Amino acid sequence: MNTTTAPGTAVDPKSFTSFAEFYPFYLSEHSDLTCRRLHFVGSSLALLFLALAVVTRNAWWLLAGVVSGYAFAWIGHFMFEKNKPASFKRPLYSFMGDWAMYRDIWTGQVRI
C-alpha cells in the first residue's frame, strides 16, 4: 500500500494489510515530540508495573500498567498531537506500534 497521501487527506488505519505498512503511518501520527515523550513514559511505567505484578504476585499492578500506558498515550494524542489514537481502529497494530516505537526510541531511531 502507498502511504503517501495529499495533505489533509485522511488515511484509514484499517486499510493496511501488514504491520510493515502500518508502522510508517503510526510514526506519522506521533510527530509531536511531547506526544512521543508521553508514550515513552507510559510504556516505561507499564513495564515497571508488569515487573511489580510478577514480583508481588498482585494482579492489580497489571491494571495499573494498562491504565498508565494508555492514559499517557491518549493525553499525548488529544492534548498535543490533536488526533485520535490509531488504537481505536487498529488496536493490535497500534499496540505493536507502541512497542516498536519504544524500541526505536531506545535505539535512537526515533527522537524524544
pTM of the full structure: 0.87
For the chain, the domains span 34-106
Confidence at residue 9, expressed as pLDDT on a 0 to 100 scale: 65
Helix axes 91-106, 33-56, angle to 10 degrees: 100
Confidence at residue 2, expressed as pLDDT on a 0 to 100 scale: 44
Q: Which of 89, 91, 105, 108 is nearest to 30 (CA)?
A: 105
Note down pLDDT in tens along the chain; length 112 residues. 444 444 556 788 889 999 999 999 999 999 999 999 999 999 999 999 999 999 999 999 999 999 999 999 999 999 999 999 888 889 999 999 999 999 999 999 999 9
